[in-house]
Amino acid sequence: VLALATVLVWLAFGPSPALSHALVNAVAVLIIACPCAMGLATPTSIMVGTGRGAELGILFRKGEALQLLRDARVVAVDKTGTVTEGRPLLTDLETAAGFDPAQVLGAVAAVESRSEHPIARAIVDAAAGQGIALPALDRFESVTGMGARAHVDGVPVEVGADRYMQALGLDVGVFAATATRLGGEGKSPMYAAIDGGLAAILAVADPIKPSSRAAIAALHAQGLKVAMITGDNARTAQAIAAQLGIDEVVAEVLPAGKVEAVKRLQAEHGKLAFVGDGINDAPALAQADVGLAIGTGTDVAMESADVVLMSGSLQGVPTAIALSRATIGNIGQNLFWAFAYNTALIPVAAGALYPAFGILLSPVFAAGAMALSSVFVLGNALRLRRFQPAAGGGAG
């Protein structure tokens, strides 16, 4: 349209030879108006940004995750294996009257030997450390979000959270004082029932990752709210959240409850990024606007996520968000340049300077200017290769 308008104006008002001037300027307009720079503005920045992310141990499985991360207003994190090391140790075992601690530990370890939960490994290792041989096990069943059960030497054994014991009709009140103390110490209490009776309370402690405190501080510095969503005991979760400065805690939730918590946070705050590592986190990762999986976690979690943090460090989250913001900002710069270039040079190519200064833009120079615009966009996108995470917000 612009080229046709240029031809008509030159034919109507241009000096002789009008047709020659009209055609030359129309060709210059067509060349200058070529949207090459516009077409390169977004994909080059995304390509360089995701490449830089890979160098920092952040794998963007979907390009749109860059855009969505920039828009995130709240970051929700799982606890075990995400904020903590995911390598818990058995710290406490208190039995009810009539139960032998070694026999209880052996029975619980036998059940947990079939479980994939990180806490299970701690109990099995504790039994092995005490030289306790695991008794025969059959009819094992994992109860999602609750615990596990099996028959040990023909006797039914259930292991899990207090809500599991309550679902079995068992009163955990006898261990209430112990559970309160353990939760206040940041430990995760769990219970064992043997042959239909409450047998013991056990506790494991999972050390907080050294990088977690700095990562959460970096997220706050980026203006983000941080929430923790966990199936763990509420007292334990609150104790850990207080140590790290986490804004909101949702505890004692099943996998479906994590999804509901994510939906509520989305409704209250807007775009949400969820960080998790376990099988139980997969539904929440899928529900979040952006799901980030810890690379040291399960394959199911990584398949459900949009971004994978290969280092296993929570510090990769603020780095990914900073890289997202830098990349989207770079795209904006590219688009502004390409638009400003076309806006400024199309009138020149059409001959707007000819009446006052006698200047016409040759198609050859128009081609060079068009190429220069594309080079500028590419060069600006390549600046993302120099992106460095802020102190305390590295990839780990």
Q: What is the pLDDT of residue 23?
A: 63
User: Cα angle vertex 294, ends 293, 300, to 5°?
Assistant: 55
Residue owning tokens 């220069």: 372
Indicate if 81 and 213 belong to the same structural domain: yes
Indicate if 198 and 259 belong to the same structural domain: no
Indicate if 190 and 243 belong to the same structural domain: no
Q: Which of 293, 310, 327 finishes a domain?
A: 310
Indicate if 101 and 74 belong to the same structural domain: no
Give the tokens for residue 11. Answer: 């034919």
- Max alpha carbon distance in the chain (Å)? 113
Q: Which residue range forms the structural domain that includes residue 19? A: 1-41+336-386
Indicate if 137 and 93 belong to the same structural domain: yes
> Buried b / exposed e across 359-385, counting CB within 10 Å, b at 16+?
ebbebeebeebbeebbebbbebbeebe
For residue 136, what is the domain's CATH number?
Answer: 3.40.1110.10
Q: According to the 3-state scheme, what is the secondary structure of 125-184?
A: HHHHHCCCCCCCEEEEEEECCCEEEEEECCEEEEEECHHHHHHCCCCCHHHHHHHHHHHH
Digitized pLDDT (tens) for each residue of the chain, 396 residues in all = 566 666 666 566 656 676 666 666 667 666 666 667 777 888 899 999 999 999 999 999 887 888 899 999 999 999 988 998 878 899 999 999 999 999 999 999 999 998 877 788 899 999 999 999 999 999 999 888 789 999 999 999 999 999 999 999 999 999 999 999 998 888 889 999 999 999 999 999 888 998 999 999 999 999 999 999 998 888 889 989 999 999 999 998 888 899 999 999 999 999 999 998 878 888 999 999 999 998 876 677 788 889 999 888 899 999 999 999 999 999 999 888 877 777 766 676 666 556 666 666 666 666 666 777 788 889 999 999 999 987 544 443
The letter for the amino acid at 44 is T
Indicate if 71 and 213 belong to the same structural domain: yes
Number of domains in the chain: 3
Catalytic center residues: 78
396 occurs within a structural domain: no
- Count of CA atoms in the C-beta half-sphere (13 A) of 331: 17
326 occurs within a structural domain: no
How far apart are alpha carbons 286 and 306 in whole angstroms?
A: 9
Q: What is the pLDDT of residue 160?
A: 92
CB 351 within 8 A of CB 360: yes
Instruction: Enter the pTM of the model.
Output: 0.75
CB 157 within 8 A of CB 192: yes
Strand order from edge to edge, sheet including 307-309: 58-60, 307-309, 290-294, 272-276, 74-77, 225-229, 248-250
The letter for the amino acid at 62 is K
Residue owning tokens 């400003």: 340
Q: What is the pLDDT of residue 392?
A: 47
Write the DSSP string, 20-72.
Answer: HHHHHHHHHHHHHT-THHHHHHHHHHHHHHHHHHHHTTEEESSTHHHHHHHT-
As beta bridge partners, residue 77 has 228, 275
Is 201 in a helix, a strand, or coil?
strand
317 occurs within a structural domain: no
